[in-house]
Each structure stands twice: as C-alpha cells, then as structure tokens.
Amino acid sequence: MSGFNLLHLVSQGQPVKLKACGLPSGTCRSKKTWPKSFPEEELRKRLSPMQYQVTQQKGTESAFTGKYTDNKEEGTYHCVVCGAPLFTSDKKFDSGSGWPSFFDLINKDSVTLTDDFSYGMHRVEATCSQCGAHLGHLFDDGPRPTKKRYCINSSSLNFKAKNGVSEEVEASGGAGQSPPSSKNEEL
C-alpha cells in the first residue's frame, strides 16, 4: 500500500441563487439588471435629448421623423447606448408606419421582449438585452416569414454601413490653392 497524497484544491464555488419571480411575465421588468449599465450623467452627455428620452424613459419619437425610417443602405443597426448589434438591413422593410421596421432580429437574444401595459393597452416592449435601452415595440402584423414587426425608434439605433465607407475626405494638401504671396512694402 503506497500512500499517494494528492493536494486537492477545491475551489469553494458559491451556489448561484436564482431569484424566483413567481409573477406573470413582464412584471419583474423594473427589477432586472442588465449586463451593461451606464451612469445617467454619462448618457445625458453622450446621447441627444431625444435619444435619452427614448432609450432611458421609454419615449417614442414622432412618426416619420426618425433618421432611419427611410434608410435603405445595407448595414447593421446597433444599440445607440451600448453598441450591441440588433438588426440588419436585409430584415428591414417599409411598413409605412413612420418608424424603422424589421421582421426579424440579428439574433434571437439581442432583444428582450416584455409586456407593456402602459397607455391602457397591451403591447410587447422591445428592449436591448445588453443594456436595457428601450427600442420600441413588437407587433404581429409584419411580413412573412416571421409575420413580426419590430417597430423601432431611430433614436435607439446607430447605423453602420456594410461597406464601411466613411465620408472622411483625405487631406489633399491644399492643391489648387496658391499661397498668398507676401509683399514687402517698405515705406
């Protein structure tokens, strides 16, 4: 019998306690914490007043006023608050509603859906799964194949064009402009 000592390091992992909600879906919404959070002060500086109102206070921009409503460029739409990719241009369609509309997500986990009973009606609120930014609402009157319509505020989105062409103009060294000749006028 040979003794063989193993130095066994057991990490004391604490069991993760999951909070049971026990309430109907949606009612835990206000208690939820998101993977990413930003100080209110930072967001007020970084976002426009409309972007702040929509994403942080569940506002809704007026129909046909958002900058992406008629955007037909190819690319991806990211959360304006945390930058998470949410939608792609190939899932965007013209719903005529006055807001950017998408029939599907970039991936199924990118947006969190919760019940919204505000204004005396039942709607499904669409929220960024990373930071909890309010995006808009989900309706069931979209086109095939999903028949979904994610009705999203432009103010919640930051569009990045697919081809990545930026509008930066390279400095041309001032070609075409001759420097003003200086005259020495002696009196």
Residues that bind Zn ion (CB under 5 A): 79, 81-82, 84, 128, 130-131, 133
Side chain identity at 33, as an amino acid letter? T
Query: Taking the complex as a whole, how short is the minimal distance between the CB of residue 131 and Zn ion, in angstroms?
Result: 3
Alpha helices in 37-155 (DSSP H): 40-46, 49-57
Query: Taking the complex as a whole, how short is the minimal distance between the CB of residue 29 and Zn ion, in angstroms?
Result: 15
Query: Taking the complex as a whole, how short is the minimal distance between the CB of residue 80 and Zn ion, in angstroms?
Result: 8
Query: Which residue from 18, 2, 37, 1 is spatially nearest to 133, judged by alpha carbons?
Result: 37
Distance of CA 56 to the CA centre of its chain: 12
Looking at the Cβ atoms of 109 and 186, the one nearer to Zn ion is 109
- CB burial of residue 157 (10 Å; 0-12, 13-18, 19+): buried
CB 39 within 8 A of CB 47: no
The Cα 187–Cα 181 span in angstroms is 18
Looking at the Cβ atoms of 131 and 152, the one nearer to Zn ion is 131
Catalytic positions are: 151
CB 36 within 8 A of CB 130: yes
Looking at the Cβ atoms of 40 and 70, the one nearer to Zn ion is 40
Looking at the Cβ atoms of 13 and 129, the one nearer to Zn ion is 129
Query: Taking the complex as a whole, how short is the minimal distance between the CB of residue 70 and Zn ion, in angstroms?
Result: 24
